[in-house]
């Protein structure tokens, strides 16, 4: 077999292995993304489109519901992602200690929320945080509060419930990534630091965090994307199956607004596509920012 | 052990204990809820009641349980099998047969990975309508079969697949597809197990896209059914809890059966 024939067959094999995936991604991903970009410049309701130029973008800036959804989504992002990732990292470091007893049990327990469907756990949270529900009962019994908290009816508390719910569902998931990365770190580095008298918190800040930086970046980017797409939880906990983010739109997110624009009201595909590209731009800008913050600084 | 170490140990156990309790409590709440009346759940009764058989009877009266489970299982199993085949083939292909063009395609895929589903939801809906696939499981499964995340995962894991095995198989005259199916797949079973958990759960729990595609009652999955039960004007939470228990059981079983493989697979992909 000549060298050139060999490389040609390798090349053919290379294309054959990836072909099914490439065709599917082209038809069901790349094509819809481009179509959506084209539609974001169209105006009109239902199936009557006409080219609107910047009309949709101008409409965004004057649309109070959109601005509300944007603010809510960014609030969830800025508050929830740092809390969740910090917890996940601390749990991972604690569980990575070989001397800790009951490690397997604790790890499984904290990971367990990940097996629930977003709908199932949303329903559980909705019932636990009901006005006379079990959470208020417990807090009253422990004398932490003196009157029940209106979790699902007050805008502020509704946001808190959503944040707690997402944190419950995803902390263990992110913890597994940190645990996996921690197991690859050479233990002798820690031993050396410990013998040199470096305290535990300094080992965490100056050894663990820098060595986990690639994984922290990965989880930050994926969590950002996840939070920007928030839909199932708000639709099932506070919007009671799609009534538009009650109480008074306190938990309306961008994805829920796109859903409402497309499938609840008189469909406006063009404007819905414009709102969806706001998410794309946010993901792109925030990911770039996160990569920039985490870049290797040359001295 | 000096007092400070003892104290910090204690704090670590306390924090992890609280985290474990908070993580597990909603599962307990769900099981207890299935035995209580809707009213008891609403007033926060956290002890076992005696309404389990009543709730189960009501649930089976309101929902065609065998059909709904058959739908969910069909969707999750077909989705998992096709995703495993298509995406692992691609991940293997990208890693084993490298070329400049394919590296560029792979870089584009990683960029696409960050584009949210919302950005393609509307055109995807219109595309399925034009293809006449509305209200079919094909419309639900097709967009997720080539998963960039799973392709990426398999490519990373393939780096650990011993080159000697492949070379020996080539010398023995096996064709490339034979090497893949007869050698790679069995050797990489931890990776497949981890991917199975991730894909099965995603398919079983899928909500937004099936909500748009499925339009008739007899095609609804368990996830769609419990969502609509819970969003009724006055939901019967006892019945809803029976539904959530049944909806969660399969994913818990898959997780516990494949758990060790799952952790191995995750570790393998990060190395």
pLDDT digits (tens, 9 = 90+) for A241-296: 444 445 557 888 998 888 888 877 777 888 888 998 888 888 888 888 888 887 76
| Residue B79: closest CA among B203, B218, B178 | B203
Q: In angstroms, rounded to a whole number, what is the distance separating the alpha carbons of residues B137 and B142?
A: 8
- Chain A contact for B196, CB < 8 A? no
Partner-chain contact B24 A112, CB within 8 Å: yes
- How many interface pairs between A and B have CB atoms less than 8 angstroms apart? 268
Q: For residue B130, what pLDDT is reported?
A: 93
Q: Report whether A161 contacts A275 (CB < 8 A).
A: no
Rounded distance between C-alpha atoms, residue A288 and residue A282, angstroms: 10
Whole-number pLDDT of residue A244: 42
Percent of chain A with pLDDT over 70: 91
Contacts of B180 in chain A (CB under 8 A): 17
- Give A178's contacts (C-beta < 8 A, 6+ positions apart): A88, A89, A92, A93, A212, A215, A216, A219
Q: Which of B120, B248, B260 to mutate to probe the A interface, most A CBs <10 Å?
A: B120
CA nearest A38: which of A277, A293, A291? A277
Task: Please determine, for residue B92, whether its predicted confidence score (pLDDT) is greater than 70.
Answer: yes
Q: Over the Cα atoms of chain A, what is R_g?
A: 24
pLDDT for position B132: 94
Q: Between residues 161 and 190 of chain A, which touch chain B (CB distance below 8 Å)?
A: 168, 171-172, 176-177, 180-181, 183-184
Phi, psi (5° rounding) for residue A113? -50, -25
Position B262 confidence tier, pLDDT thresholds 50, 70, 90: low
Could you tell me if A153 lies within 8 Å of chain B, comparing CB atoms? no
* pLDDT tens, residue by residue, B55-64: 999 999 999 9
Q: What does the block give as tokens for A35?
A: 């179509």
Confidence of residue A139 (pLDDT cuts 50, 70, 90): very high
Do the beta carbons of residue A238 and residue A152 sit within 8 Å? yes
At B93-144, the pLDDT tens digits run 999 998 899 999 998 898 787 777 877 888 899 899 999 999 999 999 999 9
* Integer CA distances (angstroms), B110 to A21, B104, B152, B187, B202, in order: 14, 10, 8, 26, 20
Residue A207 near residue A276, CB atoms below 8 Å: no
Beta carbons within 8 Å of A123's beta carbon, 6+ residues apart = A236, B226, B227, B230, B240, B244
Interface residue B90 vs chain A (CB under 8 A): yes
Confidence of residue A1 (pLDDT cuts 50, 70, 90): very low
Q: Please indicate if any CB of chain B lies within 8 Å of the CB of A130.
A: yes
Strand partners, A43: A50
CA dihedral (B172, B178, B180, B183) positive or negative = negative
| Model confidence pLDDT, tens digit, residues B199-246 | 988 899 898 899 999 989 899 999 999 988 988 778 888 999 999 999
Its sign, for the CA torsion B11, B16, B22, B24, is negative
With beta carbons less than 8 A apart as the criterion, state whether B111 and B261 touch.
Answer: no
Q: Where are the beta strands (DSSP E) in A88-160?
A: none
Provide, as residue numbers in chain A, all residues whose Cβ is less than 8 Å from the Cβ of B116.
225, 228-229, 255, 276, 279-280, 283
Question: Is A159 in the B-facing interface, judged by CB distances under 8 Å?
Answer: no
Write the CA distances from A79 to A6, A162, A185, A272, A276, integer angstroms.
Answer: 55, 11, 30, 26, 22
Q: Confirm or reject contact between A285 and chain B (CB < 8 A).
A: no
Both tokens assigned to A257: 């607004």
What percentage of chain A's residues is helix, strand, coil (to nearest 5)? 75, 0, 25
- Closest-CA residue of chain A to B230: A123
Q: CA-nearest residue of chain A to B229?
A: A241
pLDDT the model gives residue B6: 82
Residue A114 with chain B: CB contacts under 8 Å: 201
Q: Record the tokens describing residue B265, joined without a space.
A: 């697979």
Q: What is the mean pLDDT of residues B262-269?
A: 59
Quote the CA–CA distance of B35 and B48 in Å, as a whole number.
Answer: 6
Helix then strand count (H, E) for chain B reads 15, 0
pLDDT above 80 for B43: yes
Q: Of A129-133, A164-168, B256-260, which gets the smallest average pLDDT?
A: B256-260
Structure confidence at residue B193 (pLDDT): 84
Q: How far is B40 from chain A (nearest CA, A)?
A: 9
Measured between CB atoms, does B75 come within 8 Å of chain A?
Answer: no
CA atoms of A164 and A84, how far apart (whole Å): 9
In a 13 Å sphere around the CA of A31, the CA atoms on its Cβ side amount to 14
pLDDT for res B264: 62
pLDDT value, residue A298: 52
Query: What is the average per-residue pLDDT within B155-174?
Result: 89
State pLDDT tens for residues A209-236: 888 888 888 888 889 888 988 888 888 8
Strand partners, A42: A51
Nearest to B41 among A21, A120, A127 (CB): A127
User: How far is A233 from B208, CA to CA, in rounded Å?
Assistant: 11
B267 near B202, Cβ under 8 Å? no
């Amino acid at each position: 077999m000549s060298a050139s024939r060999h490389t040609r067959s390798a090349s053919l094999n290379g294309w054959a292995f990836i072909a099914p995936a490439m065709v599917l991604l082209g038809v069901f991903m790349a094509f819809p993304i481009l179509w959506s970009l084209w539609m974001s410049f169209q105006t009109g309701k239902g199936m009557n489109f006409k080219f609107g130029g910047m009309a949709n973008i101008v409409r965004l800036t004057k649309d109070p519901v959109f601005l509300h959804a944007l603010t809510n989504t960014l609030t969830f992002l800025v508050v929830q992602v740092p809390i969740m990732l910090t917890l996940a990292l601390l749990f991972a470091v604690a569980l990575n200690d070989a001397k800790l007893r009951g490690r397997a049990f604790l790890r499984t327990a904290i990971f367990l929320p990940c097996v629930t469907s977003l709908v199932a756990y949303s329903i559980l949270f909705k019932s636990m945080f009901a006005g006379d529900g079990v959470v208020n009962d417990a807090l009253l019994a422990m004398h932490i509060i003196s009157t029940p908290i209106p979790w699902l009816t007050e805008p502020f508390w509704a946001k808190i419930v959503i944040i707690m719910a997402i944190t419950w569902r995803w902390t263990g998931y992110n913890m597994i990534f940190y645990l996996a990365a921690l197991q690859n770190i050479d233990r002798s580095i820690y031993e050396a630091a410990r013998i040199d008298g470096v305290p535990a918190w300094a080992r965490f800040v100056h050894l663990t965090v820098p060595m986990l930086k690639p994984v922290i970046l990965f989880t930050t980017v994926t969590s950002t994307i996840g939070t920007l797409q928030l839909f199932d939880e708000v639709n099932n906990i506070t919007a009671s199956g799609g009534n538009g983010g009650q109480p008074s739109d306190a938990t309306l997110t961008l994805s829920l607004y796109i859903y409402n624009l497309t499938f609840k009201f008189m469909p406006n595909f063009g404007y819905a596509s414009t709102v969806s590209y706001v998410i794309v731009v946010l993901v792109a800008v925030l990911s770039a920012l996160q990569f920039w913050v985490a870049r290797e600084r040359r001295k | 052990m000096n007092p400070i170490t003892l104290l910090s140990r204690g704090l670590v156990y306390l924090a992890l204990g609280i985290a474990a309790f908070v993580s597990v409590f909603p599962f307990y709440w769900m099981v207890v809820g299935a035995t209580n009346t809707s009213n008891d759940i609403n007033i926060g009764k956290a002890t076992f009641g005696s309404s389990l058989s009543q709730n189960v009877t009501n649930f089976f009266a309101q929902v065609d349980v065998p059909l709904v489970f058959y739908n969910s299982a069909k969707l999750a199993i077909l989705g998992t099998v096709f995703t495993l085949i298509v995406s692992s083939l691609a991940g293997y292909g990208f890693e084993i047969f490298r070329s400049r063009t394919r590296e560029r395609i792979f870089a584009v895929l990683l960029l696409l990975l960050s584009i949210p589903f919302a950005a393609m939801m509307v055109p995807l809906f219109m595309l399925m309508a034009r293809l006449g696939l509305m209200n079919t499981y094909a419309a639900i499964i097709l967009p997720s079969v080539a998963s960039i995340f799973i392709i990426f995962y398999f490519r990373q894991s393939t780096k650990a697949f011993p080159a000697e095995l492949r070379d020996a198989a080539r010398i023995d005259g096996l064709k490339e597809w034979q090497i893949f199916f007869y050698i790679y797949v069995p050797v990489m079973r931890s990776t497949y197990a981890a991917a199975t958990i991730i894909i099965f759960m995603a398919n079983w729990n899928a909500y937004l896209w099936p909500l748009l595609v499925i339009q008739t009652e007899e095609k609804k999955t368990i996830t769609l059914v419990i969502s609509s039960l819970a969003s009724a004007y006055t939901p019967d939470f006892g019945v809803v809890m029976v539904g959530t228990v049944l909806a969660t059981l399969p994913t818990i079983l898959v997780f516990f059966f494949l758990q060790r493989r799952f952790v191995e697979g995750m570790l393998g992909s990060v190395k």
